[in-house]
Structure 1
Amino acid sequence: MRVLFVCLGNICRSPMAEAVLRMKINKAHVADKIVVDSAGTGDWHIGDPPHQGTQQQLAASGISFEQIKARQIKQKDFKEFDRIIAMDRQNEKDLLKMAGKSYQNKVSRFMSLLHDQPQKDVPDPYYTGRFDEVYDLINRGTDQLLQDLLKQIK
């Protein structure tokens, strides 16, 4: 099972989700069955590490982000990944446009994992500075995602 998180620049939300889910996958001892990555729809930050705010939030939670570098989504990702999870509605629209009809069923929005949340998007902390709020949403959403993935791989 292969999961790809996607946000705009791949330095705040999607790398945070990648790091958090990877830590949970490792704790569940299923790293050989579930692979996680992240990408951005834009190309501004290719090769950059996560945003300083993302790094600080992950470090405070004891979560490694060492090997995460920003990259832009590629057409081959739609074939290689089983789930492509957009962090907001605009990312989702962009991904659905890129995916074409044959891969649209792989694309979903992160907030669909959190049924108790009225908001539709994971807010972008690049603009808000609220990395703690984003971490809380991602932490809860990845718990649900991991439960779903574990059911699928068994």
Structure 2
Amino acid sequence: MRVLFVCLGNICRSPMAEAVMRMKVAKAGLSDKISVDSAGTGDWHIGDPPHRGTQKRLTASGISFDQIKARQLKPIDFEKFDRIIAMDQQNEQDLLKMAGARYKEKISRFMALLHDRPQADVPDPYYTGNFDEVYDLIDRGTEQLLEQISAGEH
């Protein structure tokens, strides 16, 4: 199973989700079965490390982000990944436009993992500054995602 998290610039939400999910996959002993990556729909931060707020929050939780650098989504990603998870509605819509009919079933929105939360989007901490709220959502959502994948759900 190959999972790709997608946000706008790939420096806040999606790299945080990538790092948290990688840690959970490793702890579950599933690194040989599940690979995780992240990308952005925009190109502003290509090659940059995660935002310092993301770094600070991940460090506080003991989660590594050393290998994560921002990259832009590529057309090949639609073929390469089994699940492409958008961090908000706008990115989901952008992904659906880019994907074409062939790959639409691979795309979902992150907040769909958290059925008890009415909000549609993971808030962008680049603008809100609230990296703790984003971490809490990502922590809970990646737990649900790992359970789905482990149970064989797509």
Q: Shorter-chain-normalised TM-score: which range?
A: over 0.9
Q: Could you state the TM-score of these two structures normalised by the residue count of structure 1?
A: 0.99
Unpaired segments ≥5 residues, structure 2: none
State the shift of 1:151 in Å: 1.2
Give 3-state SS (helix, strand or coil) of 1:103's partner. Answer: helix
> What is the CA deviation profile of residues 44-70 of structure 1, one whole-angstrom value per residue up to 9, with x for unaligned ones?
000000000000000000000000000
Partner of residue 148, structure 2: 148
Give 3-state SS (helix, strand or coil) of 1:152's partner. Answer: coil
Partner of residue 23, structure 1: 23
Mapped partners of 1:121, 1:18: distance in 2: 17
Mapped partners of 1:2, 1:23: distance in 2: 15
State the shift of 1:103 in Å: 0.1
Mapped partners of 1:152, 1:80: distance in 2: 19
Partner of residue 77, structure 2: 77
Partner of residue 35, structure 1: 35
Partner of residue 119, structure 1: 119
Mapped partners of 2:142, 2:55: distance in 1: 18
Mapped partners of 2:105, 2:26: distance in 1: 27
State the shift of 1:152 in Å: 1.6
> What is the CA deviation profile of residues 58-98 of structure 1, one whole-angstrom value per residue up to 9, with x for unaligned ones?
00000000000000000000000000000000000000000
Unpaired segments ≥5 residues, structure 1: none
Partner of residue 60, structure 1: 60
Partner of residue 101, structure 1: 101
Mapped partners of 2:152, 2:19: distance in 1: 21
Q: Which amino acid aligns with 1:111?
A: M
Q: Could you state the TM-score of these two structures normalised by the residue count of structure 2?
A: 0.99
Moved over 3 A (4+): none
Mapped partners of 2:38, 2:21: distance in 1: 11
Mapped partners of 1:34, 1:59: distance in 2: 23
Q: Which amino acid aligns with 1:96?
A: L
Mapped partners of 2:81, 2:136: distance in 1: 25
Partner of residue 47, structure 2: 47
Mapped partners of 1:152, 1:45: distance in 2: 34
Between the aligned residues of both structures, percent identity stands at: 76
Mapped partners of 2:37, 2:71: distance in 1: 10
